[in-house]
Each structure stands twice: as structure tokens, then as C-alpha cells.
Structure 1
Amino acid sequence: MRIQFLRNATLLIEWNNKRILVDPMLGAKDSLDTVPNAANTIRNPMTELPMDESALKSLLASLDAILVTHRHRDHWDVTAQAILPKGLPVFCQPEDKVAIIEQGFTYVIPVKQSVNWEHLDITRTGGQHGTGEIGKMMAPVSGFILKDGQRTLYIAGDTIWCEEVAVAMDTFRPDYVVVNAGAAQFLQGDPITMTTADVITTIQHPAQSKVVAVHMGAINHCFLSREALREAVAAAGHTAIIPEQGEWINA
């Protein structure tokens, strides 16, 4: 298994000769409006993908499946909806099935609990995309466990550290957990994705999973940078994988 971090929460997973694209945000830099009610008005994404148009076309042609944790536009943008092959399997939370079918995709697989695909078990987990009323408005969101009997990968999705994440780690003891950091925040309320403290709590969890932190540097309401997170994790005496765009992680 290996994982390429592309941008924000977009990952390419290569596993047992299959290629799965996770949370595709494929539009050009500045192609999306700013996230409103944030402390700046920068357009999104704030960076380009780490590949040119030809390489992106080759990537799309090589895919075997798509995994969408939820349909917020920084995880499933209009460009992805337009250019992804419509016949690929799309794994999603049940609440998103109808909308994805209406966008033209013909092989949509809602994961209520768990499904098996190409000798890979895919199990949906819960999460909290913020606290209080904001968390309720941002719901529903999901994480996903992928395992093949030898290795287990946990894609936590857009969630803060919460009971649902702890239960998933206790239950599945993943080898790797990908967390969406960035400490995304509106002008009101608490952060809606993992903060530095949340990432460190994940690292310290007894499951002893290797933590991969993404979801930084691409969206205007994410204020925690990769550099600041690296420094904080090191200062706490821990290690985490905090990849740059385009970087491969060999698991």
C-alpha cells in the first residue's frame, strides 16, 4: 500500500494493484469562491494540483474507484464531478447517494456499515465536524476504514477529535490513520477540523497508529499550516507524517 497526497484531503491510494481516489478536489487554483464567514476572503483552492493537465488525465484514466467521505466542495468539487469517469465505483455515505447519482455517476455504492470490494473491506465510521450548532449544520460526515486482512488504513474524514474517532481506533487498531487537520474555523465557534492538540491526541492514542496529517494550506478557513504542525508535534516529542503536495507515503 502507498498513498500520494495531492491537495487538501485529496489522496490517491494504491493498494493490491487498485487505485482509489479519495475526496477529489480537482479544480484549478482560485476556481472556487471563498469559504464565507472566515477571517479572510482568499479564493479556493489556494494552490494548484501538483501535476499538469496531461498527468491529471492519465491519473483519472488509471483509477479503479472513488471514495467520497462527504460532499463539501473542498472534498467533491464541481470539477471532480465533471471530469471523473462516470462509471467508476463511488463509495460514499448513504446520505450522499442520490445527489451523486444525480450528478451522472452510475455505480454509486453507499456504505451504511461495511462492504467488500476487490478483497478490500470498507467500513464507515462516524465523526463530528465541529461542536454545537456549527457541528450539527456541517453534518453528516463520515470516516472510512479500509483493510485487506494484513493492513488497516483509517481515513478519519472531516472531524475533530471525538468519541467516534477514539472508538474507531480502539476497534480497528489501524496501521495508519489519515486525519484532516488545518484547524478550519469560522468567525464564530470552535474549529471544525483537527487542531494541533487533536493531532497530538491522535498520535498519543494507545492504538499507536502512524498518523498522516493533511487538509492544510489549500482552503481559506484552514489556519494551521504544515510547518506550524510539524514544529508543534516535534516540540511535544512526537512524530507524524505531514506530507507536501505530491508526496508519496510508502506504507
Structure 2
Amino acid sequence: MDIQLIRNATVKIKFGEKTWLVDPFLGDMGSLPPFAGKSPNPVVPLPVPISEILEDVDYVLLTHLHPDHFDERARQAVPTSVPFVVQPADAEAIKEMGFSKINVIDQEDQLGMVKISRVGAQHGDGEILKVMGAVSGYILETRDEPPLYITGDTVWCDSVKETLDRYNPGVVICNAGGNVFLPEDNPFREQISLKHIHQVIMDEKQVLKLLTYREQISVVAVHIGALDHETVSRKSLKEYLRTSGIDMRQVYVPEDGEMIKLN
């Protein structure tokens, strides 16, 4: 299994003799507005050309349709001939964008040598869930490789624990930037009023819970270093896990563009 972090949650994976592009977010620096009032997003450029990112892609897999997971530039750049793998909530929107090869994963499906199962994800807690929309994680399984768990945008919750218990993945790609939305810089102010800070994906404390809940897993931490509402850096995550006694040989915190090869 080869895993290349592109940027944010955009990951290119070789698994089951296919190449999967997860959540392509391909816009230029500053192409999206601020999420925390600090800076337009993304705050860093792509590490490689878009043509290289799309090279040899067999499937685009979407966890959800927030613009930092599938943006206008990706809609323009991904050929309409590329098959998509999506949750039911996003199928009609992807069809309306002009993509016709759409694999809708309600519970599970077989795509070539890979069995793909959709699993629960919780994009925050409490009031913020009213505006977060549907989000999914996925389990990919094939012969001769450990099951791969793509968490999607989720906090540590019962759905994550249930997925770990049921599928016993060997590798987890975890969105771990600890991203938050603030009452004073609330991008959803026309829809809801936020009374306190809302964390919407895992931070270092929740990644630690993941690693101690299933001690044998390898974790690839992504969704770090690209957006203005993160609370976790690569350095802070590694330091926190190291000082908490985690064997760092089971943790990967890749830089943008970095390739990880897992046997």
C-alpha cells in the first residue's frame, strides 16, 4: 500500500491494484475565504502539479462535499470519465456537476479487487452538526493487504470505535488538524449562532485515544497545515504523542507531497 499526502485531506493511495484519489482539494492558495478570520484558504500551495496528482487515478473517493475536500478547481480538473465513489447524500450533486460514473456506497460494494464499506463519521459535537451535513468514512479491504480505514472528517466518537471493533483495520488515515469554528468568526452565522468553540475533527488528544484503543494500528495523520482554523501542527502532534508514550514507528505525519510505503 502506498499513501501520498497531497495537501489537507487530499490523499493518493495505491491499494488493491488501483489508484484512489481521496477528497481532491486543488485550488490555489487563498482561493477560499477564511474559516477562522486569520487567512484565506488554503494557506499553502499544492506540492506537485495537478496533472501529476491526477495521473493514473482509477477512482475519486469523496468523504463529503465541503470545499476543502472537493473544490471548484477539482471539479474543473478531474476528467468526467473518472469514476467517483460517494456517499448517498452526495450522489445527485456529483451527477449535476457532469460526472456520470458514480459508485454510490450505501453500505458496501465491490470495486475490482477492493471491497469498500461506508462507515459512520461525526463532524463535530452539538449545535455545529446542524450545518456540517452528511459525512462518511470508508473501509477498503483486499487480499494480501491490511484493511485501510479512511476516517473522513470526524471527532473521536462511538462510530469510530465501532468501526475499529468491526473491521480491525491495520492502517488508519486520520484527519487530525483539530480544526475549530469560533463564535467570533462564525462562517455559518446566517444559519446558526455559536455560543462556544466547536471542534470538528480529531486533535492530538483524540488521536492518542485512537492509538490506545487499537494499539496495533498504524496511523497516517493528515488534514494538517493547510487551513486557518487548525489547532494542531505536525510538530505539536508528534511531540504530544511521543511524550504520551506512543511508539512513533506506528505513526506517520507526512509533509505535503510525501509518499509513505506500507507493507
Same fold (TM over 0.5): yes
**Count of residue pairs the alignment pairs up:** 245
> Does residue 188 of structure 2 align to residue 177 of structure 1?
no
Secondary structure class of the residue paired with 1:24: coil
Q: 2:19 aligns to what?
A: 19
> Does residue 106 of structure 2 align to residue 95 of structure 1?
no
Matching residue within 195, 198, 203 for 2:203: 195
Matches within 5 A, 1:60-99: 60-99=54-93
Cα distance in structure 1, aligned partners of 2:55 and 2:221: 27
Q: Structure 1 residue 124: deviation in Å?
A: 0.3
Secondary structure class of the residue paired with 2:13: strand
Task: Check the 8 A contact 2:121/2:152 in 1, yes or no.
Answer: yes
Task: Check the 8 A contact 1:173/1:207 in 2, yes or no.
Answer: no
Q: 1:241 aligns to what?
A: 252
Q: Which amino acid aligns with 2:208?
A: I
Secondary structure class of the residue paired with 2:241: helix
Task: Check the 8 A contact 1:126/1:143 in 2, yes or no.
Answer: yes
Gaps of 5+ in 1: none
Q: 1:131 aligns to what?
A: 125
Gaps of 5+ in 2: 183-195
> Does residue 5 of structure 2 align to residue 2 of structure 1?
no
Cα distance in structure 2, aligned partners of 1:177 and 1:215: 13
Q: Structure 1 residue 135: deviation in Å?
A: 2.2
Matching residue within 199, 211, 220 for 1:212: 220
Secondary structure class of the residue paired with 2:181: coil
Task: Check the 8 A contact 1:145/1:154 in 2, yes or no.
Answer: yes
Q: Which amino acid aligns with 2:239?
A: E
Q: Which amino acid aligns with 2:221?
A: A
Cα distance in structure 2, aligned partners of 1:207 and 1:124: 23
> Does residue 45 of structure 2 align to residue 51 of structure 1?
no
Taking only aligned residues, the RMSD between alpha carbons, in angstroms, comes to 1.2
Q: 2:193 aligns to what?
A: none
Cα distance in structure 1, aligned partners of 2:215 and 2:236: 25
Cα distance in structure 1, aligned partners of 2:23 and 2:45: 16
Q: Which runs of 4+ in 1 moved over 6 A?
A: none
Matching residue within 212, 215, 229 for 1:221: 229
Cα distance in structure 2, aligned partners of 1:216 and 1:26: 15
Cα distance in structure 2, aligned partners of 1:58 and 1:191: 33
Q: Structure 1 residue 190: deviation in Å?
A: 2.8
> Does residue 167 of structure 2 align to residue 159 of structure 1?
no
Cα distance in structure 2, aligned partners of 1:27 and 1:17: 28
Q: Structure 1 residue 207: deviation in Å?
A: 5.7
Q: 2:99 aligns to what?
A: 105
Q: Which amino acid aligns with 2:93?
A: A
Q: Structure 1 residue 189: deviation in Å?
A: 3.1
Q: Structure 1 residue 46: deviation in Å?
A: 0.7
Report percent identity of matched pairs. Answer: 40
> Does residue 34 of structure 2 align to residue 34 of structure 1?
yes
Cα distance in structure 1, aligned partners of 2:40 and 2:26: 15
Task: Check the 8 A contact 1:156/1:177 in 2, yes or no.
Answer: yes
Q: Structure 1 residue 110: deviation in Å?
A: 1.1
Q: TM-score, normalised by structure 2?
A: 0.90
